[in-house]
Chains A and B, each alone.
Chain A
Amino acid sequence: MEAHEEKPIIYTMENKPIVTCAGDQSLFTSLYTSLAQQLPRESMEWRRSYGRAPKMIHLEANFVQFKEELLPKDGNRALLTFPFLHIYWTDCCDTEMYKASVKDDMLRWQSTLRLHGSVDWLIVVVESEAKKKNKTNILPRTSIVDKIRNDFCNKQSDRCVVLSDPLKESSRSQDSWSAFLTKLRTLLLMSFTKNLGRFEDDMRTLREKRTEPGWSFCDYFMVQEELAFVFEMLQQFEDALVQYDELDALFTQYVLNFGAGDGANWLGSFCAPVKRWSGLLLRRPIDMEKRELIQRGEASLLDLRSYLFSRQCTLLIFLQRPWEVTQRALELLHNCVQELRLLEVYVVQGALDCWVFLSCLEVLHRIEGCCDRAQLEANCSHTVGLWTYATEKLKSLGYLCGLVAEKVPTSEDLNRTVDLLAGLGEERPETVNSLQSPYKKLNEALSSVEAFEKHYLELSHAAMEMYRAIGRMRSARLIGKSLAEFYMKKGDPERAEGFLDDSLRSYVAEGWRLQVTHTRKQMAECQKLLQQTEDYLQTSALLAGDANLTEEERKHFCQEILTFASQPPAPSDQTVALSMAAFAQLRQMQFSPPGAVVHVGAALQLELRVRCLMPVAMQVEQLAATLHFSLEQGGARGRAGSAQRRAGHGPQGQGDGVVMFPQGSPLAGAGMGASLPPALELYEMQDRSPSDSSLTSTGVVCKNMHLLLRRHDSSASLDTPTAGALPAAVAVDDGAQMLRARDITLQPGDNSILFTAPTGEPGSYTLRQLCGSVGRVQFVQSHIYPVVQYEVYSQEPQLTIEPLSDNLLAGIPQKVTFTIATGHYSVKKGDALQLSNTDSMPILHSSCCSATVLSSTGGQPSIHPLERMGESALSIQSSEKVTSISLPPTPPYHTLEFQLEVLCHIPPTPFKPDIERLTNGEVRHRPKSHSHVDSGMINIDQKVSIDCPWSIYSTLIALTFYVPFKAKHSILSAGKRKYIQVCLQNVSDTNFHLADPVLTERQPTVSMELLSLNVKTQQPVCSQQSVFCLWEMRWAKPLPLCLQCAFSASFAPVSASDTHTAFKPYRYEFQLDRVSTLYSLKAEISPPSGDQHCRTGALCGLEVSITRQAEPSETEGEEEESTEIEGLRTTKLMYEVVDNSSNWAVCGKSSGVVSMPVAASATHRVQMEVMPLFAGHLPFPNIKVFKYLPHNAVPAIQPDTDSCLENDTISLLDKGLDDQGDTASIRSRGSVHSVGSGEQQRGLPMPRLEPFSPGQVFYWSQGRQVLVLPVTDDHVMEVNVT
Chain B
Amino acid sequence: MAVCIAVIAKENYPLYIRSVPVQNELKFHYTVHTSLDVVEEKISAVGKAMADQRELYLGLLYPTEDYKVYPSHMIIVYYTPVCIFFLLIENILLYRHTRYGYVTNSKVKFVIVVDSSNTSLRDNEIRSMFRKLHNSFTDVMCNPFYNPGDTIQSKAFDSMVSAMMVQAS
Contacts and interface: CB of A to CB of B under 8 A. Distances in A.
Given A330-B63, A334-B64, A337-B65, A474 B29 contact: no
Interface in A457-495: 467, 470-475, 478
Given A330-B63, A676-B149, A512 B29 contact: yes
B34 interface: yes
Secondary structure of the A side of the interface?
helix
A1162 B139 CA distance: 118
B41 A518 contact: no
Given A330-B63, A331-B63, A514 B25 contact: yes
B136 interface: no
B78 to A, nearest CB: 14
A1101 interface: no
B65 A334 contact: yes
Given A256-B119, A715-B40, 20 more contacts: A338-B65, A341-B117, A342-B117, A381-B41, A389-B65, A467-B37, A470-B41, A471-B40, A474-B37, A475-B37, A478-B34, A512-B14, A512-B33, A514-B25, A514-B26, A666-B151, A667-B13, A675-B13, A676-B11, A714-B10
B116 interface: yes
A367 interface: no
A675 B41 contact: no
B13 A515 contact: no
B29 A514 contact: yes
A341 B151 CA distance: 38
B30 interface: yes
A368 B150 CA distance: 47
A334 B67 CA distance: 10
Contact of A474 (B36, B65, B117): B36
Sort A-B residue pairs by CB-CB distance and give the 7 closest, nearest first.
A511-B13, A472-B37, A514-B29, A675-B11, A474-B37, A510-B12, A474-B34
Interface in B1-35: 10-14, 25-26, 29-30, 33-34
A1232 to B, nearest CB: 102
Given A474-B37, A475-B37, A510-B13, A515 B29 contact: yes
Contact of A510 (B33, B116, B120): B33
Indicate the member of A337, A474, A675 with the most B CB atoms within 10 Å. A474
A1040 to B, nearest CB: 96
Contact of A665 (B12, B41, B151): B151
Contacts of B150: 665
Interface string A350-374: 0000000000000000000000000
Contacts of B40: 471, 715
A259 interface: yes
A473 B34 CA distance: 9
A672 interface: yes
Interface string A699-728: 000000000000000110100000000000
Interface centre among A334, A470, A511, A512 (most CB of B within 10 A): A512
Contacts of A381: 41
Which range contains the number of B residues in contact with the other chain? Answer: 20 to 34
Contacts of A510: 11-13, 33
Contacts of A334: 63-65, 116
Interface string A1003-1024: 0000000000000000000000
B92 interface: no
Contacts of B160: none
B38 interface: yes
Contacts of A665: 150-151
A467 B40 CA distance: 13
Nearest to B31: A478
A672 B13 CA distance: 8
Interface in A320-344: 330-331, 333-334, 337-338, 341-342
Given A472-B41, A474-B33, A514-B26, A338 B116 contact: yes
A665 B13 CA distance: 12
A145 B34 CA distance: 77
B37 A473 contact: yes
Interface in B60-78: 63-65
B33 A515 contact: yes
Contact of A478 (B30, B41, B63): B30
Nearest to A252: B119
24 contacts: A260-B120, A333-B65, A334-B64, A334-B116, A337-B65, A338-B65, A338-B116, A338-B119, A342-B117, A467-B37, A471-B40, A472-B37, A472-B41, A473-B37, A474-B37, A510-B11, A510-B13, A511-B14, A512-B29, A514-B26, A665-B150, A667-B13, A676-B11, A717-B12
A1187 B33 CA distance: 119
Tier of interface size on chain A = 35 or more
A338 B120 CA distance: 13
A871 to B, nearest CB: 55
Contacts of B117: 338, 341-342
B7 to A, nearest CB: 13
A958 B70 CA distance: 87
Interface string A653-674: 0000000000001110000100
A667 B29 contact: no
B126 to A, nearest CB: 16
Interface in B139-167: 149-151
Nearest to B35: A474
A260 B120 CA distance: 10
A341 B116 CA distance: 11
A770 B77 CA distance: 41
A419 B11 CA distance: 49
Contacts of A471: 37, 40-41
Contacts of B12: 510-511, 675, 717
B26 A515 contact: yes
Contacts of B37: 467, 471-475
A447 to B, nearest CB: 26
Interface string A39-58: 00000000000000000000
Nearest to A507: B33
Contacts of B30: 478, 515
Interface in A577-621: none
A515 to B, nearest CB: 6
A4 B149 CA distance: 78
B31 to A, nearest CB: 9
B118 to A, nearest CB: 10
Contacts of A470: 41
Contacts of B11: 510-511, 675-676, 714, 717
B167 to A, nearest CB: 17
Contacts of B64: 334
A514 B38 CA distance: 21
Contacts of B10: 714
Nearest to B25: A514
Q: Which of A381, A389, A515, A717 has the most CB of B within 10 A?
A: A515
A752 B119 CA distance: 57
Interface in A513-553: 514-515, 518
Nearest to B150: A665
B22 to A, nearest CB: 12
B151 to A, nearest CB: 7
Interface string B96-131: 000000000000000000001101100000000000
Contacts of A667: 13, 151
A342 B118 CA distance: 10
Nearest to B36: A474
Nearest to B151: A665
A384 to B, nearest CB: 10
A342 B120 CA distance: 13
Nearest to B68: A334
Contacts of A676: 11, 149
Of B30, B40, B116, B120, most buried by chain A (CB within 10 Å of CB) is B30
A598 B25 CA distance: 55
A714 B12 CA distance: 9
A256 B38 CA distance: 28
A474 B14 CA distance: 15
Contacts of A715: 40
